[in-house]
Structure 1
Amino acid sequence: MTKTGDFFRDANEASQLLDDGDPNKTEKGLDDYDPHLHREIENPTTNTETLIHLLKGCLGTGALCAYCLHVLVKAQYILCKKLKVALLTYPDSMKVACEMGPSCLRGFAPYAPGLTNFFLIFYQMGICCVYVVFVGKNLKYVGDVYTSKELSLYIYMLVIFVPFVLIICIKNLKLLAPFSILANIITLITFGVVCYYIFQNLDSFSDRPAVGSIVDYPLYFGTTLFSLQAVGVVIALENNMATPKSFRQPCGVLNVGMGLVTVVYVGMGMMGYWQYGEKIESSITMNFPIKELLAQIIIISYSIAIYISYGLQGYVPVQIMWTNYIAKRLEDASETKKTLYEYMLRIICVIITFVLAMTVPLLGLFISLVGSFCLSALGIAFPAIIELCANWPEKSHPKSALFWKDMLLIVVGIIGLSAGSYSAIYAIAGKLASGEY
């Protein structure tokens, strides 16, 4: 796979490519360079394979997040075109954007990649923690039916440790495609059974509160972001496509994928609330009548689908840490040693996610915390910053609508990060103090 470092080694070279920030110079020759035509990828994924991965990695809803993903991918393309490079990672995009943007941001450029990588790693590892808790709790929900004495949640988590290690050791996204197909098939079947349960004996919808408590909205914001934003996976998928131009087209991979998951999640969310009201669990499968065999089969099957997704979500933080911080220090090492260290990194990542999952096994609140803290930045504020800087000063300036639109997104991201994270941490601390988990 093409690495950004192959094109420019530091900020000085990037700045030279920008012709000293002269907007007239930066436009010269740009129309003749198409970054997509210069990508060299060892195992590119097809449109179908990318869509399958997208559905599995970004299953959620929301026009705002779909729009911000478009903003990010388009802005990255503009940066690549200006620099005449084939590919930019998310962290490098932040760095270059700050270098070519307003002067007040240029001093932040050296720190931008590290901050972006921190949020990406935290977010993806957080997703993996949620998946561990989800699978562990659902297995316990079923297992308690067949055991005379209820086993601890920690026992179930330990049982699934080795399978999780094995799935994350699959290094090639193309090899994960068949597993994603299986996971999507299981998910579709599960949705069918969910419909079977949630459409039975519905009460009057008017009996359900139409509006929740205002203090819960920051938690809702984080939970919603978590369900609909998989920015790290989306960027990795677009970078690994054989035909990246198909990603952002009106009927391309991103719109089709987000459209499908929007319909699914809005429908399932509304109907689940209609059926179970305020008694609904963090995972709707835990509202099913557990003594019914169908419910048990579906819960186990969906746990398998989530387990498969762990491999895809874990791919991103491993690649970030390996490519940016570890491989560079092993340039003179043998291939055997490099392979050994890479697998050690993958196993350590699994251990970390399991330790965190066992420490805070609060599925709903953990989801809200990860969504608020990471995705407010990665999915809303950072894409707006990159777009603002990528178009500076020719199209983005204080007198342009684009500038103020991006400023509004940045403010929304900052407020979401602050309020959502505080609410989630406060709620988690309260639950842990009272032992309610």
Structure 2
Amino acid sequence: MASSRMMQTLIHLLKCNIGTGLLGLPLAIKNAGLLVGPVSLLAIGVLTVHCMVILLNCAQHLSQRLQKTFVNYGEATMYSLETCPNTWLRTHAVWGRYTVSFLLVITQLGFCSVYFMFMADNLQQMVEEAHVTSNICQPREILTLTPILDIRFYMLIILPFLILLVFIQNLKVLSVFSTLANITTLGSMALIFEYIMQGIPYPSNLPLMANWKTFLLFFGTAIFTFEGVGMVLPLKNQMKHPQQFSFVLYLGMSIVIILYILLGTLGYMKFGSDTQASITLNLPNCWLYQSVKLMYSIGIFFTYALQFHVPAEIIIPFAISQVSESWALFVDLSVRSALVCLTCVSAILIPRLDLVISLVGSVSSSALALIIPALLEIIIFYSEDMSCVTIAKDIMISILGLLGCIFGTYQALYELTQPISHSMANSTGLLIPPPLHLDVTSCDHHSALQQDPV
């Protein structure tokens, strides 16, 4: 029984970290270089796992000190500020909780916006390439197809179905959808690996180190892809034997890091300078590999509701508290509909969503994954004879996260202000069916853990 519960926890952990972000990793490696990319992915992955462990230790310490069974990310931030020496921080400790909640909402709504673009892109490509899709799988040629229908039309088609999906609040029902998402994602990933491992050319002409400007985009993409700090606390809390979680965490994240490095590196080696914003754009235009888009789209459709739980659980209780009980259901459904429409509108208004995700990753994910955990460790343990080495380490992690936030944000904003043709490395032209702007992981900070008790 204990081993089955550990396996369930491991599956939840993998599900939270393995998703659409994989598809954009070959381009991320291209933005960093064939040597610098994999090494940086490994470093960011190890650093992120270390920050997860820091957060777990801080939460456990606060739980014992306050005699609470569990504290979440926001509460850990608030309680730590309440005990710090600075008077101003103590009196404004609640803003620590608000800040973490705000960053989680921004990150998760960013996921959902990308999901809209992802599903619309796939639907458009499958429909408009159907007449040139063959049964013979050969290396893909550039197609100069003029889109028949605007991409926004496909988004509006998907919108009502997603609104109906998020109306489902029964977590057991959502867990069934989660299982379907896992199956379709696994099948499509198997097909992708099966293709890219065939006939990889010798990478003698691929740069080991890319331009520093594109590396800043790589940082935002990578840190967003590895963003999973917010889910470790509820995952550990739902284990019957929480002391076993460290083993699950190290095993699960090791698998994730290895998978990310393999797909990103092999994908870039396979397609080289032709690497697109999503690896699916490089796959042969035949029915077998078109099914990859279909399976991934089905998985993302169901995953949308799970990702949506985080902002919904933060925003909806506050909205309901402002009205009488008779209006509670109406307000609940209205807020859910409005949030789905918000993610749809943001996807429609922002054509360079790959850069927007890099922007969100640089801002919110850097704070959640690196800056805040390191600062929490200093605030909580400084008065308990904390070693100078640990303090220096945490300061360096915070500075790294801050620098990534500042320079990654600047570069993403700069790229967003340029014409589409200025940065073809991250997008394709309008003559080709629009790319899948994917620089996210489908990690759900809380909701993926709430579907089934572990």
Question: TM-score when scaled to structure 2?
Answer: 0.78
1:176 Cα deviation from its structure 2 partner: 2.6
Contact 1:233 1:313 in 2 (8 A): no
* 2:442 match: none
The amino acid across from 1:53 in the alignment is: H
* 1:328 match: 321
1:235 Cα deviation from its structure 2 partner: 4.0
| Aligned counterparts of 1:379 and 1:412: Cα–Cα separation in 2 | 11
* 2:11 match: 52
Query: Aligned pair in 2 of structure 1 residues 349, 395: CA closer, same or farther (>3 Å)?
Result: farther
* 1:417 match: 405
Does residue 178 in structure 1 map to residue 176 in structure 2?
A: yes
* 1:191 match: 189
Choose from 250, 257, 266 the match for 2:261.
Answer: 266
* 2:246 match: 249
* 2:95 match: 111
| Aligned counterparts of 1:317 and 1:50: Cα–Cα separation in 2 | 23
* 1:32 match: none
Does residue 93 in structure 1 map to residue 91 in structure 2?
A: no
Choose from 117, 123, 128 the match for 1:139.
Answer: 123
Q: How does 1:221-260 map to 2 (within 5 A)?
A: 221-239=219-237, 241-243=238-240, 245=242, 248-250=245-247, 252=248, 254-260=249-255
Does residue 374 in structure 1 map to residue 364 in structure 2?
A: yes
Q: How does 1:347-358 map to 2 (within 5 A)?
A: 347-358=337-348
1:222 Cα deviation from its structure 2 partner: 0.6
Contact 2:56 2:232 in 1 (8 A): no
1:112 Cα deviation from its structure 2 partner: 1.5
SS in 2 for 1:249: helix
| Aligned counterparts of 2:122 and 2:413: Cα–Cα separation in 1 | 24
1:50 Cα deviation from its structure 2 partner: 3.9
Choose from 299, 302, 325 the match for 2:296.
Answer: 302
- Aligned-residue identity in percent: 31
Contact 2:178 2:303 in 1 (8 A): yes
Moved more, 184-193 or 96-105: 96-105
The amino acid across from 2:96 in the alignment is: A
1:270 Cα deviation from its structure 2 partner: 0.6
Question: In the TM superposition, what whole-angstrom CA distance separates every residue of 1:138-178 from its partner, at most 9, and x where no partner exists?
Answer: 22121111379622111111111122223323334444333
SS in 2 for 1:207: coil
Question: In the TM superposition, what whole-angstrom CA distance separates every residue of 1:382-436 from its partner, at most 9, and x where no partner exists?
Answer: 111222222230043xx53222221111111111111111111111121469796
Moved more, 82-91 or 141-150: 141-150
Give the alignment's Cα RMSD to 1 decimal.
2.5
Choose from 309, 317, 332 the match for 1:315.
Answer: 309
The amino acid across from 1:279 in the alignment is: D
Query: Aligned pair in 2 of structure 1 residues 244, 178: CA closer, same or farther (>3 Å)?
Result: farther
Contact 1:79 1:93 in 2 (8 A): yes
Choose from 47, 51, 56 the match for 1:68.
Answer: 51
Choose from 408, 428, 431 the match for 2:396.
Answer: 408
Q: Which runs of 5+ in 2 are unaligned?
A: 22-40, 132-145, 423-427, 431-454
* 2:66 match: 83
Q: Bigger relative contact order, structure 1 or 2, given CA contacts below 8 A and separation 6+?
A: 2
Query: Aligned pair in 2 of structure 1 residues 414, 322: CA closer, same or farther (>3 Å)?
Result: same
Contact 1:57 1:313 in 2 (8 A): no
SS in 2 for 1:150: coil
The amino acid across from 1:383 in the alignment is: P
SS in 1 for 2:204: helix
Query: Aligned pair in 2 of structure 1 residues 64, 315: CA closer, same or farther (>3 Å)?
Result: same
1:233 Cα deviation from its structure 2 partner: 3.9
Does residue 385 in structure 1 map to residue 346 in structure 2?
A: no
Contact 2:51 2:229 in 1 (8 A): no
* 2:113 match: 129
Question: TM-score when scaled to structure 1?
Answer: 0.81
Contact 2:16 2:228 in 1 (8 A): yes
Moved more, 160-169 or 275-284: 160-169
Contact 1:141 1:286 in 2 (8 A): no
* 2:139 match: none
| Aligned counterparts of 1:132 and 1:312: Cα–Cα separation in 2 | 14
Moved more, 412-421 or 202-211: 202-211
Moved more, 273-282 or 95-104: 95-104
1:219 Cα deviation from its structure 2 partner: 0.7
Name the count of aligned residue pairs: 383
Q: Which runs of 5+ in 1 are unaligned?
A: 1-44
